[in-house]
Structure 1
C-alpha cells in the first residue's frame, strides 16, 4: 500500500465532501423550502376560497 495513494484518496474524498456540503445540500434544501412554501400557499388559497367564495355568492 502506497502512502501517496492513501493521501490522494483522502484528498479526493475531502473534495467530494466539500462539493456536496457547499453546493448539493443547499440546493436541495432551497428546493424543499420552495416546495413547502408552495404547498402552504395553496392550502391558504383553498381556505380563503372556501371562506370567501360562499360569501361572494350570497352578496
Structure 2
C-alpha cells in the first residue's frame, strides 16, 4: 500500500487509524475522510485524464 505514514492527498502524517480507500484497484491511505472524498471527486471530474500515480 502506498504512503501508509502520510495522507496520499495532503501529505499530512496519519496519526490515528488511516482511512483506506480502494481506487482503480489500488489502496490509498488518507488522514481524514475529506481527503479521500476529494481525491474521488477529482478522479470523477477529470476522468482518465486525471493521473494520481502516487507512490
Q: Normalising by the residue count of structure 1, what TM-score does the alignment of the two structures yield?
A: 0.28
More strand by share: 2
Higher Rg? 1
Question: Larger relative contact order (C-alpha < 8 A, sep ≥ 6)?
Answer: 2
Q: Normalising by the residue count of structure 2, what TM-score does the alignment of the two structures yield?
A: 0.30
